[in-house]
Structure 1
Amino acid sequence: MNSPTPAPVHPAARVAHILMALCLGVMAVAVFFNVVLRYGFGSGIPASEELSRLLFVWMVFIGAAAAYPAGEHMAFTSLAGLLARKPLAFKLLTAVIRVLVMAACAMLGWGAWQQVVVGMDSHSVVLGYPVALLPLPALLCAVAIGVMALVELVRGKPLDLGHGAEVE
């Protein structure tokens, strides 16, 4: 059987996948050892919880930014699927969706920036890292997705309805 060859993975996506795997691996090891020490020996690693929370936040936002260009975010394509047969309406809907994505990114980015500024002078209790590292990935993710949406808007890239375009 001839199976379709997979599309080449962009280097930035590969780096994102590696970073997410590293975050997940370090979290798994830290939590595993913490559980074993806590239940087996009556003591734990205090830094495990802080480290896991920080890595989880970073992993989620790296994943969100990596999922956008691949079209892996949730999509409600019933209206777009109906308008796909009308090129002008579909093009207008695509532009509106891109503008809405950029507006959502602006709001997320603004809120995350405010939290980064607030967290600059605070430090985590156990590890002592600046608390600004917790909202920072939200800011970076918002900027990355906003820029990708802007590039798609400027290039006039149509919505990708390759995931079925059926009612979801």
Structure 2
Amino acid sequence: MNLPIAHGRFQRLTHVLMAACLAVMAVAVFINVVLRYGFGSGIAASEELSRLLFVWMVFIGAAAAYPAGEHMAFTSLVGMLQKRPAAFAAMTALIRVLVILACVLVAWGAWQQVVVGMDSRSVVLRYPSALLPLPALLAAVAIGVMALVELVKREPLDLGHTAEVE
């Protein structure tokens, strides 16, 4: 499969998933507010569902932001190396290795939380508590794989942040 096509499909999928999470959260919270203020009762599951979907939405967004180059970047120092191709390539590789290392650490910690959460359930909806740290694990794996592919392909860093103050 062509990489730009795969990138476009990944972006569309993540945007659809984030929109679905946001839509369900908005409807659940709206209904809960109407029931609480209008009728003096509410749906206890609304808060738990919204919290779960918010966590998933954040980590789906983090994975979607990586290939789009939308994570926070401090490009001033690396940008000065653009006139020295060897130094720029070495710094690019170092940055990608550090991203992969950070992903491994996040994935390892998230995996430990998933294992701990398998034996417990949420209070109201009774879903496995492992569903809360699972998106962190999946996002770390996705970002780590993308960074590894960029490292192997020796793709240059996108320093397109020139208009922003960093």
Instruction: Mark the runs of 5 or more structure 2 residues left unpaired by the alignment.
Output: none
The aligned residue for residue 97 of structure 2 is 99
Question: Is the 8 Å Cα contact of residues 21 and 53 (structure 2) preserved in structure 1?
Answer: yes
The aligned residue for residue 15 of structure 2 is 17
Q: Tell me, in whole angstroms, the C-alpha distance in 1 between the residues paired with 2:87 and 2:33.
A: 56
**Aligned amino acid, residue 90 of structure 1:** F
Aligned residues: 162
Q: Tell me, in whole angstroms, the C-alpha distance in 2 between the residues paired with 1:167 and 1:122.
A: 45
Q: Alpha carbons of 1:63 and 1:151: their partners in 2 closer, same or farther (altered >3 Å)?
A: same
Name segments (4+ residues, structure 1) moved above 4 Å.
none
Question: Is the 8 Å Cα contact of residues 75 and 161 (structure 2) preserved in structure 1?
Answer: no
Q: Alpha carbons of 1:26 and 1:61: their partners in 2 closer, same or farther (altered >3 Å)?
A: same
The aligned residue for residue 154 of structure 1 is 152
The aligned residue for residue 42 of structure 2 is 44
Q: Which has the higher helix share?
A: 2
Which has the higher mean CA deviation after the structures are superposed, 47-56 or 33-42? 33-42
Cα RMSD, aligned residues only: 1.4
Map residues 59-78 of structure 1 onto 2, 5 A cutoff.
Answer: 59-78=57-76
Identity of aligned residues (%): 77
The aligned residue for residue 58 of structure 1 is 56
Deviations 1:68-90 (A, max 9, x none): 00100000001011111110110
Instruction: Mark the runs of 5 or more structure 1 residues left unpaired by the alignment.
Output: 1-6
